[in-house]
Amino acid sequence: MLFADASRGRPFSKDPAVVRFQGHYYLYYSVPPDTRCAGGWGIGIAGSDDLEHWEILGELEPQGELEAPGICAPGAIVVRGQVHLFYQTYTGTQTDAICHAYSQDGIHFTRNPTNPIVRAQGSWNNARAIDADVVVFENRLYLYFATRDPSGNIQMLGVTSCPMDGKFLRESWRQCCDAPILAPRLDWEKTCIEAPAALVRDNRVYLFYAGAYNNAPQQIGLAVSEDAVHFTRVSSLPFLPCGEPGTWNSSESGHPFVFEDEDGRIYLFYQGNCDNGKTWTISKAEIVFDAKDSAAPGIPRLR
């Protein structure tokens, strides 16, 4: 699968998030500003019946003063018969924060009246919160986000949580960490860990993440937690590296999202390109877990 939205005049789709809703698949992704008119980043919406072929269905455009500079990097989940999007405002500064909207049909969304709902807290970060991803763990919603250190140079991850009431109002969220849950320390991660993508399985949270900034190259790593807050890397090597020279993702394999289908199959969606970011394409790979009696129980791999 290779999907790219060319509505802006060039193939350009980033930051995928996927749900199955009312018998169809919905893909949400970032689209850049349209040079033909005023406006910032937006969130594209595509639909599919087979996870392979996608049709562009619409766009969630910025709304109001808060979102006017742009919105992007959606995370998506189905809760209580609604699609919930958690997305960021986009100014490129420390004022960026996480917003929330919900939908009855996967295409038309209503904003949370308390937006923005999440900013990073504590002296260890600069208050910015971007790249939201959410999972249900032990009957609470956990939202993972990327932030930066006080200097604004090092990108790292944090986590916040709220009750499963379906409202997800600003006052419901409580940050679960007083330090980064993952910060770059491996050579290939350089100065950035971002785009958390969580999967709950066997009472663990598997957190896929993007290491290094775009095209540095960005590659995908993996960490695991027993409590949704404290994570350990499963390897010092990327789980999904960038492609070899000449391939579609030679510049990067980045910004992952994990989708578990109704039949139990699990897919890692991610973005890539071969031209240092002039274009962006979304693809997917299937994730499988080794058998319980294997040499590496509980460690996923790509099929």
pLDDT tens-digit profile of 194-214?
A: 999 999 999 999 999 999 999
- Tell me the Cα Rg of the chain: 18
Phi-psi sector, 64: left (phi>0), alpha (psi -120 to 50), beta? left
Give CATH for domain 14-302.
Answer: 2.115.10.20
pLDDT one-digit tens code per residue, 248-286: 999 999 999 999 999 999 999 999 999 999 999 999 999
pLDDT digits (tens, 9 = 90+) for 167-188: 999 999 999 999 999 999 999 9
pLDDT on residue 92: 87
Q: Which amino acid is at 112?
A: N
Q: Which residues contact 149 (CB under 8 A, 6 or more apart)?
A: 124, 125, 126, 156
pLDDT exceeds 90 at position 295: no
Which segments within 170-218 are labelled E, that is strand?
174-175, 193-201, 204-211
Length reported for the chain? 303
Give the other-Cβ count within 10 Å of 290's Cβ.
13
Q: What is the pLDDT of residue 291?
A: 63
Amino acid in position 105: D
| Residue 15 predicted with pLDDT over 90 | yes
DSSP symbol at 70: B
CA triple 118-178-163, angle to 5 deg: 45
Report the pLDDT value the prediction gives residue 230, as an integer from 0 to 100.
98
Would you say 233 and 222 are in contact if contact means Cβ atoms under 8 Å apart? Answer: yes
**Cβ atoms 248, 281 nearer than 8 A:** yes
Percentage of residues in the chain having pLDDT higher than 90: 90
Query: What pLDDT does 38 receive?
Result: 58
Mean pLDDT over all residues of the chain?
95
Residue type, 260: E
Q: State the residue for tokens 């290939």.
A: 188
184 compared with 91, residue with greater pLDDT: 184
Position 259 scores a pLDDT of 98
Which among 137, 135, 134, 132 has a CA at the least distance from the CA of 227?
137
58 has pLDDT over 70: yes
pLDDT score, position 303: 85
Give tens-digit pLDDT for 116-132: 999 999 999 999 999 99
Proportion of the chain above pLDDT 70, given as a percent:
96
pLDDT at residue number 180: 98
Pair of tokens at residue 267: 């897919």
Contacts of 151 (CB under 8 A, 6+ apart): 126
CA distance linking residue 241 with residue 223, whole number of Å: 15
DSSP-based three-state secondary structure for 64: helix
pLDDT at residue 166, as a whole number:
82
The predicted structure's pLDDT at residue 296 = 54
Q: Which two tokens stand for residue 296?
A: 């590496």
Tell me the C-alpha distance between 40 and 57, whole Å. Answer: 19
Residue 292 has pLDDT above 60, yes or no: no
Average pLDDT over residues 44-48: 98
Does residue 9 surpass a pLDDT of 70?
Answer: yes
Q: Which amino acid is at 282?
A: I
